[in-house]
Structure 1
Amino acid sequence: MRKVLVLVLIFLPTLILPQDELPFPSISIGISPAQNQRDLVVTLEILLILTILSLAPSIIILFTSFTRIIVAFSFLRNALGTRQTPPSQVLVGLALFLTFFIMQPVWTDIYNGAITPYMKGEIGYQELFSRMMQRVRVFMVNELINHHNEDNAFLLASSVGQKYDKIDDIPNTIIIPAFVLGELELGFKMGVLLYIPFIVIDMVVASVLLGMGMIMIPPVLISLPFKVLLFIAVNGWDLVVAGLIKSFAR
C-alpha cells in the first residue's frame, strides 16, 4: 500500500501538468539608435518630464512664493496657540494654491515664451531651459529689489570672493540662495507682526488672573478662546491671505 502511494506521489505531477509546457516570457531592455530626429525629441521630452517631476518640490520651495507663505502660516498657528489646528496638510495645501495663483503670470510667460516655441520646434531644449530660468530669475530679482533685500545677493557674492556692481550681473548660483534668504526674512517679519496682538491678549489675561489670585490656572487656557474670537471677528484669514498676495510684486 505504501509503495502504491509513493508511486502515485511521484507520477502525479506528470499526470496533472501538460506534457508540453509553455515557457515563461522573457523581458529585455535595450538601447537602440534613433531612426529619425523626432525619436530623439520624444526621448528628450520624456527625460525632461521625469527631471521636472523629481525636482518639482525643490523648484516650488526655492524658486516661488511658497517659502514666505508657509513660514507666515506657521507663525500664525503658533501665535494662536491652537497647536495642530489647522493641520499642517491644510496649511501646505493652501500655501500651494496661493503659490500657483501668485506665480500664474510667471507660468504663463514660461508657457508662451518657452514651452510653446519648443513644442513647435522653433527652439531647442537648451534655449528652452534658458528662457525658463531667465523668467524665474526676473521674478526673484524683482522680489529682492522691491523688498530691499538685494544686499543679500551682494553679501553672498562677497563671501565667496566675488564682487559685482549691479544685481543683474550676479549669477543664478548666488541669486537663488539670496532669494530664499530674503523670503525667510520677510516670513519672519510677518510672523512678528502676527504675534503682537496675540501676545497682548496673553499678557492681559495673565495680569487679570494674577490680580484675581488664580495663579493655578494656565493663562493660555483662558486666552485661547479670546484669541480665536478676535481672529474671527477681524476676518483674520482674509487679511492674512490678502496681505501675503499684496506683498508680492505683480
Structure 2
Amino acid sequence: MSVAAAPPARARRLALLVLAVLAGVALVTLLTATGALADTQDPAGPVAPTDPTAPVDPSAPANPGGAGVAVSINGPNDAPNGAIVTLLAVTVLAVAPSLLLMLTSFTKIFVVLALTRNALGLTTVPPNQVLAGLALFLSIFVMGPVLGSINDVALQPFLDGDITISTAVELGSAPLREFLLAHTREEDIALMTRAAGMDNPAEAALTPMGTLVPAFMISELRAAFVIGFVVFVPFLIIDLVTSAALMSMGMMMLPPVMVSLPFKILLFVLVDGWGLIITALVTSYQAT
C-alpha cells in the first residue's frame, strides 16, 4: 500500500508566505477603511432629527449633518491618512522590481556588467548577486537627481496635504518623463508608435508613457550591446592570438581558454577595466 508523500518543505514555506502576504494586505485594507470612516465622523455627536413640517431655511446647507458618508483619504491638517500612506507604500514595494527594470538605468548597467564578465571568460565570477548589487547602487546614483525632483515636487507636497494624489502623480511623472526622453532614440519611439497603430506625436514630449517606456527599454538594450561589443573586441583578439600560437606549436589538445584567461584578466586589471566601464556608464547618463 502506497502512502501519499507529504508536501515538500519548500511548498509549505511558499504557502505560509502567500498566507502571510494575504493577511498583511487584508489588515492594511481594514485599517484603511477604519481610518477613512473615522475621519468622516462628526465630533459634535449625532444630529437631532429634524421636523419635516418645519419651514426650510434657504441659507441652511443642502445636506445638514452629513446625510451621506463621504470617504476621505486625508487626516488632520489635510495630511494623507496614515493607513492610506501605508497602503500606497505596500503597493509601490510590490511593483518596485518592475519599476526598477523599466524606468531606471538598472537594465543597461546590469547587461553591460554581465557582458563584461562573459568577455573575460568567467561564467560565475563575479556572481550575479554582486553584479545586481553593483548595478542597483549605480542606478540609485544615476537616478539621484530624478528621484530628488520627484520627492520635492510631488511626494513631500502630497504628504503635507498641499496637493491631491492625482496631482502628485502628474507632477512626479514630469521629471521621470524628461529622463526617459533624454535617453530614448526617436527611432525607437517611432517603432513603438507604429506597433501600437497610433499617429506619430507632434513632438517627443507628447509621447504617451505606454509607448515611451518600451521605447526606452529598447534604447537601453541597444546601448548596452554596443558597449558590450566594444568590450568584447580586445578579449577576442587575445583569444585569436592564443589559438594561433597554440596551433603553430602543435598544442591542439590544450584548450585556448586556459592559456588566454590569465592574459585577459591581467589586461583587464592593468587598464583598470571596472573603473573604465563604470565611468563610461555613469557619464553616458550625465552627458545629457
The equivalent position to 1:75 in structure 2, one of 115, 130, 150, is 115
- The answer as to 2:80 corresponding to 1:43 is no
Deviates more, 1:223-232 or 1:133-142: 133-142
Question: How do 1:29-178 residues align onto structure 2 when only pairs under 5 Å count?
Answer: 31-32=33-34, 34-36=37-39, 37-38=74-75, 41-144=81-184, 149-164=185-200, 165-178=202-215
Residue 169 of structure 1 and its aligned partner are, at CA, apart by 1.7
With structure 2 as the length reference, what TM-score do the two structures score? Answer: 0.73
Where does structure 2 lack aligned partners over 5 or more consecutive residues?
A: 1-25, 40-73
- 1:191 paired to 2:234: no
Alpha-carbon distance between aligned partners in 2 of 1:233 and 1:87, rounded to the nearest angstrom: 22
Provide the aligned C-alpha RMSD in A.
1.6
Q: Is 1:226 paired with 2:266?
A: no
Q: Bigger relative contact order, structure 1 or 2, given CA contacts below 8 A and separation 6+?
A: 1
1:51 aligned partner, one-letter code: T
SS at match of 2:75: helix
What is aligned with 1:213? 250
Q: 2: distance between equivalents of 1:132 and 1:55?
A: 17
Q: What CA distance in whole angstroms lies between the structure 2 residues aligned with 1:99 and 1:169?
A: 26
**Separation in 2 of the partners of 1:169 and 1:154?**
13
- Select the structure that is richer in helix: 1
Question: How far off is 1:87 after superposition?
Answer: 0.7
Instruction: Give the length in aligned residue pairs.
Output: 219
TM-score scaled to structure 1, two decimals?
A: 0.84
How many percent of aligned residue pairs carry the same amino acid? 36
Report how far residue 161 of structure 1 moved: 1.5
Flag structure 1 segments of 5+ consecutive residues without an equivalent.
Answer: 1-27
